[in-house]
């Protein structure tokens, strides 16, 4: 799953030292009224979701106008969050990998329409898959990590080559260019291509060509090493149980797809470069921001490393991110020269997106898109599993080995203790479903007559019908 002085990376780790003072991160040039509204909106979402902390940066008129942090960055010992602290940004990292590829294209060292086989020939149908397809999630390579928790194998170190050998050599989920399906595997492949073509580690390339030019001084490679004592701690929560320290992924799992951590100030520096088109050539930005069209002519609504959305007639470049213990959301409104960056320190939580949605009308009057809503056949099963969890029980035959490992005795105890008092849901409805990682992803919304509590359930269902994920989280 991020301003201070530079300490150049060795062995692939970036900016391990921080030397400029926290004061330079505390930006406040907005009116007291707007500040109070932003603070109240962010704190309300944290209160509803129970997420321990959030760090926020606001860009208006092409400049950072406000940074603020809320809640506790660490619970033991209790430590207030500050704008200087780094949080993992997860998949927002993909924008930086895409930028690295585009920089190499500018230098004439590759083309994003080159086949992957030119650089990595032994992957499935790599002669049919282009780099553009990797960066736009239209390749067909199966996602190696769609789940919203860390499975036991991911607690051990791995390598990019291992990910390529396992997931890059599976049959494709679909013919290249015919569908859009999010896949971290795409970016591991893209990261390896950057390293092959540039002749240097990806983090070193990003340091020289992106972070240093943009004065992003506090970026950290959280794939190489856990965040430090002065940064935020990541947490996990089983249903509505107590917050617990999140496990750290083994080294290598986040490479090129979700490895970066930074303060929101640094992420906002990147956002300003995106809206001003100041780092890359004009052609590169055109390629990054253009929604990729499928072979059917359908719009994927995804460019290279970011979603391209139309929100009430306003163009928005958006991406969220999640790694163990952290969830982020980042949205840029290029025409309005505005941006909202939100970093939080609990995994599988809607707080980051909820804060971004709440702050959007305060920044420029744009409201979020409505949630989808329709019942599905999976709804009955999800509701039955929820009722069992309220009693601390599950039918383990319904779940994969990974999901059964997630439901250890501590987790089952937390589920029962936190969910049983809510009673039977007054409503339990499916709100979304999509394909990812060779599985079907479902989202369900729940309300309870006995209280004002609102919850979400997210599941991943394997082709054989077994559940790879079943999470219960507070709705924002």
91-119 burial, b at 16+ Cβ within 10 Å, e below that, comes to bbbbbbbbbbbbbbbeeeebebeebbebb
| Per-residue pLDDT, 311 | 65
Look at residue 464 and give its three-state secondary structure: coil
CA–CA gap between residue 232 and residue 106 (Å, rounded): 36
The encoded tokens of residue 208 equal: 């020289």
pTM of this prediction? Answer: 0.86
Q: Are 61 and 363 spatial neighbours (Cβ–Cβ below 8 Å)?
A: no
Q: What tens digit of pLDDT does each residue of 146-185 get?
A: 999 999 999 999 999 999 999 999 999 999 999 999 999 9
The encoded tokens of residue 233 equal: 């701690």
List, in sequence order, every residue forming a beta bridge with 262; answer none if it has no partner.
87
Q: What tens digit of pLDDT does each residue of 193-206 get?
A: 999 999 999 999 99
- Phi/psi region, residue 341 (left: phi>0; alpha: psi -120 to 50; beta: rest), is beta
| Per-residue pLDDT, 351 | 96
- Whether cis (ω within 30° of 0) applies to the bond prior to 77 is yes
Backbone angles phi, psi at 434, to 5 degrees: -160, 165
Q: Are 210 and 193 spatial neighbours (Cβ–Cβ below 8 Å)?
A: no
CA dist 125 to 167, 174, 324, 398, 452, Å? 13, 11, 32, 34, 51
Backbone angles phi, psi at 318, to 5 degrees: -135, 150
- Quick count: other Cβ atoms within 10 Å of Cβ 51? 29
Nearest to 71 by CA among 87, 58, 59, 60: 87
- Quick count: other Cβ atoms within 10 Å of Cβ 423? 13
Q: Are 363 and 331 spatial neighbours (Cβ–Cβ below 8 Å)?
A: no
CA dist 234 to 23, 87, 145, 278, 457, Å? 24, 8, 18, 33, 21
| Per-residue pLDDT, 353 | 95
CA dist 133 to 291, 402, 430, Å? 12, 29, 31
What distance lies between CA 199 and its chain's CA centroid? 28
Give every CB contact of residue 418 below 8 A, 6+ residues apart in sequence.
238, 239, 240, 241
Give every CB contact of residue 451 below 8 A, 6+ residues apart in sequence.
422
| Per-residue pLDDT, 350 | 94
pLDDT in tens, the chain (476 residues): 322 222 222 223 333 334 333 445 788 889 999 999 999 999 999 999 999 999 999 999 999 999 999 999 999 999 999 999 999 999 999 999 999 999 999 999 999 999 999 999 999 999 999 999 999 999 999 999 999 999 999 999 999 999 999 999 999 999 999 999 999 999 999 999 999 999 999 999 999 999 999 999 999 999 999 999 999 999 999 999 999 999 999 999 999 999 999 999 999 999 999 999 999 999 999 999 999 999 999 999 999 999 999 765 689 999 999 999 999 999 999 999 999 999 999 999 999 999 999 999 999 854 444 333 334 678 999 999 999 999 999 999 999 999 999 999 999 999 999 999 999 999 999 988 888 888 999 999 999 987 888 999 999 999 889 999 999 999 87
């Amino acid at each position: 799953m991020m301003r201070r002085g530079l300490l150049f990376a060795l062995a692939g780790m970036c900016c391990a030292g921080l030397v400029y003072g926290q004061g330079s991160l505390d930006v406040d040039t907005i009116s007291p009224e707007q500040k109070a509204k932003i603070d109240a909106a962010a704190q309300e979402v944290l209160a509803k979701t129970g997420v321990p902390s959030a760090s926020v940066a606001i860009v208006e008129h092409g400049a950072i106008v406000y940074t603020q942090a809320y809640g506790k960055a660490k619970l033991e010992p209790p430590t207030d969050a500050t704008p200087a602290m780094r949080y993992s940004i997860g998949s927002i990292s993909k924008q930086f990998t895409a930028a690295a590829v585009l920089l190499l294209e500018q230098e004439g060292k590759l083309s994003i329409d080159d086949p992957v086989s030119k650089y990595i020939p032994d992957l499935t149908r790599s002669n049919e898959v282009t780099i553009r397809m990797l960066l736009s999630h239209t390749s067909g390579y199966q996602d190696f990590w769609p789940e919203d928790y860390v499975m036991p194998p991911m607690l051990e170190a791995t390598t990019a080559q291992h990910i390529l050998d396992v997931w890059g050599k599976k049959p494709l989920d679909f013919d290249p260019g015919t569908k859009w399906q999010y896949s971290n595997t795409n970016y591991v492949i893209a990261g390896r291509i950057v390293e092959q073509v540039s002749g240097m580690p990806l983090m070193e390339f990003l340091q020289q060509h992106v972070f240093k030019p943009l004065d992003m001084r506090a970026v950290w490679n959280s794939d190489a090493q856990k965040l430090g004592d002065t940064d935020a701690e990541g947490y996990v929560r089983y249903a509505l149980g107590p917050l617990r320290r999140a496990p750290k992924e083994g080294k290598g799992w986040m490479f090129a797809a979700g490895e970066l951590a930074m303060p929101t100030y640094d992420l906002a520096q990147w956002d300003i470069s995106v809206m001003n088109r100041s780092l890359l050539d004009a052609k590169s930005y055109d390629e990054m921001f253009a929604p990729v069209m499928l072979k059917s002519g359908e719009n994927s609504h995804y460019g290279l490393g970011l979603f391209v959305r139309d929100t009430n007639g306003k163009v928005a470049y958006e991406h969220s991110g999640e790694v163990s213990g952290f969830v982020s959301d980042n949205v840029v409104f290029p025409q309005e020269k505005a941006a909202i960056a939100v970093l939080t320190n609990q995994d599988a939580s809607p707080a980051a997106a909820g804060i971004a949605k709440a702050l959007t009308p305060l920044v420029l009057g744009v409201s979020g898109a409505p949630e989808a809503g329709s019942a599905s056949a999976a709804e009955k099963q999800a509701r039955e599993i929820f009722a069992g969890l309220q009693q601390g029980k599950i039918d383990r035959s319904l779940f994969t080995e990974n999901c059964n490992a997630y439901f250890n005795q501590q987790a089952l105890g937390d589920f029962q203790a936190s969910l049983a008092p809510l009673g039977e849901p007054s409503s339990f409805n499916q709100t979304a479903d999509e394909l990812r990682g060779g599985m079907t992803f479902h989202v369900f919304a729940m309300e309870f007559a006995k209280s004002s509590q609102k919850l979400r359930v997210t599941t991943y269902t394997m082709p054989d019908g077994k559940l790879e994920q079943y999470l219960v989280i507070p709705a924002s």
